[in-house]
Structure 1
């Protein structure tokens, strides 16, 4: 009998190869991809939390406040959270039905077209990989709060080394590290929410009960690009594009499904928490930012300018604390911001390597990338992923804020395209279920209001990805700037080329609903779950972890 975190293996399964079973090597459950099922309920929940809450919620959200004001920011974040909740409703049903690694990428091939899966996989890999230098550049920016002569190149090198250490060893080590790093994010966000409530009621050195003052002066809705009602609508669009960059999360759960213990139970619980996560962290976070600092604050606009110069107090919360004359708390907040940003980059490193490995397993990347270590780490995928963090050295010459803005523009379209892909995939999955007579009531997770929910998500995500760079087409003194246009739309063109190229070379065909593979790896997953006891609940798992450390 071998024990694992959160569950007990009652007998060893035979090695994969002669049948559909998963293998048990040294007490570690290994699936068909060579990845190991070692991530417990506690680790999955905190990893997805760590990946979904990063720099954008604490720093980059300031761009949305400057562009649209607190009213537009709150409306935009609420609206976009509902859109991504609809996407979560789709991907949750598919992933709990067949919890495999790189699941939404594989589903795109299984239910739509192999070329569609090829495009989805490479888009997601590039998106995740480019986010790693984004987080490192953001880390450099917040570090300048303490001093402006920090050797940025040295910071980049140290962070890259730490990401390598956390990701190259056993998967559960990564999960454990991410659990504690994400715990720091929870502490930070709760602290900032409390700071907002206490200070707006007068609990600050100035004894100023400012309440919703900044909603009245300078106002709830800022003008952007033009003036008047049109300018305020464009301000809302600015806030919406910030929300599109900030609000995410379902894709991380689907990526780790193949490495979760008792996945149908664990992954289902993780998807269910996404809804309250959106409500508490993103919507309330947008409300708090609009309360503590005005959208026309000079420090805020200066620090987040494209020049990259400023005090280094990049977070609107830290700027608010300084405006109120609060001591010590800004330093504590900035220190927790450092761990939060590091945690997000760590999660991106993990997901990028797993998405590349998923492509190799699908035959959509070189075969040598399938190689994993004895403990399930896709070593060559990891090494290729670690090339991308070196893009963070761009911030050494161009300034961190400028590098961050450039990277945001480059990958925001890629992020929203992930949700377009998930929505299309679910629509095809739903049609396949209907054509093949599957009873959706028997699913581990049945999405509500389907397939209409998927169509709604597809409609709005498609519009957002198409209009995010609309300002480059407006008349201006500089005219049409080709470079700016490509920072917004490069990934769209890349996806089109990937899809068309693979379809032409491989001569793939769209999957007919009645021929879609709704079996896949389900037999091996069913047998694995039948062999294991149910996983511990989230808080039971946390309590057990704390007891073991004592």
Structure 2
């Protein structure tokens, strides 16, 4: 048995789409698998649309209602902005790592290489479990949104239709994923733009009978609710809303030109945060009071509780609520499509290195990890649990979802820490930063800020989960449903530590393999185009380059 310092360092050979490697042979765990290779079919426009609309889903259209009710419009604006800035820095760090080391495992592979193989094992399985559980839940959510139009047809009919649709998309491989996400993202972006315009009209008294609103609801019932507890709860909800942003880095291995498209796609996070989230939520807080009792239903995937739908209904517009409900349905399907992509690519990468069943490492001749897809579709059959006549089945689902609770904080924090250690390893091993094809303007300090913010999110989630309830049993249930993912990550970490018998916490910087499969700039070209000096005169130009 090889020790973890070998797994993820000099003996680590990453051949994207290859089922056998020198690392596998040394481990003695994975027999060579005859594989095809992942197809580099994602074009620049695919990554741009995935970046722009990939994380616009139920978290924005539905979950924001719970956030508004819990903390008020002021808390919503502040918390979503802070988490958005954190995600901007995280995506910038992921872009740099993905350009230098484009692999189908993305941050899972980065954790193996720059942190520790054991923590990479925990991150990989935490991420795959998250998508594995989210998919059937999203199928139920999409089926529930259909009830807005017709409550007589069984939910099982819609679950079946959505499952068939997702299966058909997988037939076309990564190109199918890219085209579908591009189309759905354009629809979601158009809906966000439309709501901004409509919200301004509603606020100015152009429609409805409320007249001019201005900042009325910020004064009565107020900008903040439930004190610090309300603020902390919005902090947690806002964090979950950005889940899926990291998919741009995951798609690097299947991009035609990752050195160009991945950085540009990750830069689009700024505009998604500023325009589609912050501006939409600010306007929503202007046209809908945070004490509206209908918002309390936003805890579940019920489109009728969406604050966007409620705002349109209150304006007396007859057709638009149906259009918005359709957009919400599309958003939920988009998340399900992303779940399929995120799970299959990550678990296939884990299988290549012996951290998942070797059977799942197979890639067919058309570049599709179909075995991983079959496993996911089979697990998605759990969506039929929504047909159960009582609440016991859905209680099971709630506990399954608890496993995914704070996993994203560990993933995003690990991306930032991997970037920090990558830069430190470059310095320790005497490699120039000029060899890196893409360096974000935020540098390594942006990763430090995002890492600290992830820690704050974990503390806030702990605080909200531990809030005392009416009985000790309810308090315990609330805590484990909100924070179960943390002990799950610890258990995953211990499993691989026990298996390998290596108990060091991280790979020493001087042992990190920086050269295997690295896409560094040719040293002969490093000094041909000297970097423009940083002065106040070129600040606008540098800011424009950072955002575009």
Fold shared by both chains (TM-score > 0.5): yes
CA distance in 1, matches of 2:318, 2:61: 19
Residues 89-140 of structure 1 show CA distances to partners (whole Å, capped at 9, x for unaligned) of 2212111122221211101001111111111111111112222123223223
- Partner residue of 1:62? 65
Instruction: Verify: 1:242 aligned to 2:234, yes or no.
Output: no
User: Aligned residue for 1:532?
Assistant: none
Whether 1:115 aligns to 2:108 is no
In structure 2, the residue matched to 1:438 is 431
1:10-30: per-residue Cα shift (whole Å, max 9, x none)?
A: xxxxx989999xxxxxxxxxx
Q: Tell whether the 8 Å contact from 1:132 to 1:345 is kept in structure 2 after alignment.
A: yes
1:360 aligned to which of 330, 351, 361 = 351
**1:292 and 2:287 aligned:** yes
| Residue in 2 that maps onto 1:317 | 308
Correspondence for 1:202 among 200, 205, 211: 205
Residue deviations 1:24-66 (CA, integer Å, cap 9, x gap): xxxxxxxx98211111111122233343111111011111001
Q: Is the 8 A contact 1:212 1:291 kept in 2?
A: yes
Q: Which residue of 2 aligns with 1:429?
A: 422
Q: In 1, distance between residues paired with 2:94 and 2:201?
A: 38
**Corresponding residue of 1:511:** 507
**Aligned residue-pair number:** 490
1:394 positional shift: 3.7
Give the alignment partner of residue 373 of structure 1, picking from 334, 341, 364.
Answer: 364
Shift of 1:250: 4.0
- Write out per-residue CA displacement over residues 265-320 of structure 1, whole angstroms, 9 at most, x where no aligned residue: 1111111111222111221222122122111112222x3357x8x8x512111111
Which whole-Å CA distance do the structure 1 matches of 2:36 and 2:444 have between them? Answer: 31
Alignment map for 1:12-91 (pairs within 5 Å): 34-91=37-94
The equivalent of 1:282 in structure 2 is 277
Which residue does 2:319 correspond to in 1?
328
The residue number in structure 2 matching 1:24 is none
**Residue of structure 1 equivalent to 2:335:** 344
Assess if the C-alpha contact under 8 Å between 1:244 and 1:412 holds in 2. no
Alpha-carbon shift at residue 67 of structure 1 (Å): 0.3
The range that moved more, 316-325 or 408-417, is 408-417
User: Would the aligned equivalents of 1:119 and 1:498 in 2 still touch at CA under 8 Å?
Assistant: yes
Further displaced range: 337-346 or 483-492: 483-492
1:473-492 paired onto structure 2 within 5 Å: 473-481=466-474, 482-492=476-486
Gaps of 5+ in 1: 1-14, 21-31, 224-231, 527-550
- Supply the distance in 2 between the matched residues of 1:475 and 1:366 (Cα, whole angstroms): 42
Unpaired stretches in structure 2, ≥5 consecutive residues: 1-16, 23-34, 523-548
- TM-score (normalised: structure 1): 0.83
2:496 to 499, 502, 506: 502
* CA deviation after TM superposition for structure 1 residue 403, in Å: 8.6
CA distance in 2, matches of 1:521, 1:471: 43
Indicate if the aligned counterparts of 1:304 and 1:401 stay in contact, CA closer than 8 A: no
SS of residue in 1 equivalent to 2:321:
helix
Where does 1:214-293 land on structure 2 (aligned, <5 Å)? Answer: 214-223=217-226, 232-293=227-288
1:304 correspondence with 2:306: no
* 1:461-505 deviations in Å (ceiling 9; x for gaps): 123124314345344321243333222222211111111211221
How far apart in 2 are the matches of 1:425 and 1:66? 36
Q: Measure the CA separation in 2 of the matches of 1:275 and 1:182.
A: 16
**Is the contact between residue 253 and residue 270 of structure 1 (CA under 8 Å) also seen in structure 2?**
yes
Deviations 1:424-459 (A, max 9, x none): 212221211111122223422213444332222222
Pairing 1:442-457 to 2, within 5 Å after superposition: 442-457=435-450
* Contact 1:395–1:403 (Cα < 8 Å) also in 2: no
Out of 380, 397, 415, the residue aligned to residue 389 of structure 1 is 380
Counterpart secondary structure, 1:131: helix
Cα distance between partner residues in 1 of 2:372 and 2:285: 41
Contact preservation (8 Å) 1:105, 1:121 = yes
Give, in whole Å, the separation in 2 of the partners of 1:69 and 1:402: 29
Instruction: Give the distance between the partners of 2:214 and 2:360, measured in 1 at CA.
Output: 55
Aligned residues of 2:398 and 2:481 also touching (Cα < 8 A) = no
CA distance in 1, matches of 2:146, 2:21: 53
Question: In 1, Cα distance between the equivalents of 2:19 and 2:236?
Answer: 47
Cα 1:146–1:211 change in 2 (3 A) is: farther
Is residue 138 of structure 2 the alignment partner of residue 145 of structure 1? no
1:415 maps onto 2:408 in alignment: yes
For 1:320 and 1:402, how far apart are their aligned partners in 2? 31
Select which of 78, 102, 106 maps to 1:103.
106
| TM-score computed with the length of structure 2 as normaliser | 0.83
2:528 alignment counterpart:
none
RMSD over aligned Cα, in angstroms? 2.8
Q: Which one of 518, 524, 531 corresponds to residue 522 of structure 1?
A: 518
1:363, distance to aligned residue in structure 2 (A): 2.0
